[in-house]
Amino acid sequence: MNEKEIITFSAYGGCYVIRGNGAIESAKLGAVGVIIRSLGLPVDEHPHTGSMHYEDSIQKIPAAALATKDADILSNYLKTSKVRFAYEMDCKNFPDAVSYNVIAELTGSEKPNEIITFGGHLDSWDTGEGAHDDGTGVIHCLEALRILKTLNYKPKHTLRVVFFMNEENGNKGGQTYATWSKSRGDIQIAAVESDRGGFAPRGFEIDGNEKYLNLLQSFAPIFKPYDLHIFDKGYGGVDIGPLKKSFEGIPLFGFVPDSQRYFDFHHAPSDVFESVNKRELELGCAAIGSLVYLLDKNISF
């Protein structure tokens, strides 16, 4: 990853193709396998993994990512001598199995058929516990709903929290939710997602038109005392993305926490419960609860 990129998600996106397409491009050149340095910035013993692709028309070769510390060792060996590298891997493709989204809601008092969806995904990449990706996103939204319910808040629109399945490997949870919601006759008016870790909140991005960007930016003075300062056009999230196809014009809001430490844990064995800071997690819960409240009070679709 390019350390000059201040936003680590941009750095990750800039080098993702090394892993994603590495096996395809290497096989085209006659390679018998491909090994890459993990894409994260920290130098440690935790290999960072994630999705990669094959093409049926191109020979499938083994592909793996080394932890950055091990990659440095291998690189040093290669500078001084020939190296023999052996793979021992047990990757498998399993058939699809049934899984479920988890849904809860506060029914709207004035417009119950108009839905504000917010949530994160339940599944995780297999090498860690998925604490930051996306256990914290699930807790952000669960706690946001609990706060509003505890305050005995009566929303105008229905507030629906969704914990999505299968974000990591196909997004069937997000796709199925969008189809299910449309078939029920719901009117989705906004969606919020938390899937960038449980670090200190910095603001929200919006995938939507100028009307909704202006609405989001009108909230900025309310959040400023809490050091939330990002209110820009950007990305909503994988899980809520399919709602755009089913509900034309819906604005998607993506929670933006501080990104500097996210790739210390993302898709790695280090993504465990102990890596989550309680205070930062609570601040994120409060930020999302506040945004959902403000959307319910102010949004018109």
Q: What angle do CA 184, 187, 190 make, to 5 degrees?
A: 130
At residue 107, what is the residue type? T
- Quick check: 266 and 199 in contact, CB under 8 A? no
Per the annotation, the verdict on 25 as an active-site residue is no
At residue 271, what is the residue type? D
Distance (Å, whole) CA 120 – CA 37: 29
Beta pairing partners, 206: 233, 253
DSSP per-residue string spanning 151-189: TT---SEEEEEEEES-TTTT-HHHHHHHHHHHHTT-EEE
Catalytic one among 167, 193, 205, 280?
A: 167
Three-class DSSP category at 59 = coil
The total of other beta-carbon atoms located within 10 Å of residue 156's CB is: 16
Structure tokens at 126: 């297999």
Query: Any idea which residue has 């939507």 for tokens?
Result: 208
Residues acting as catalytic residues: 167
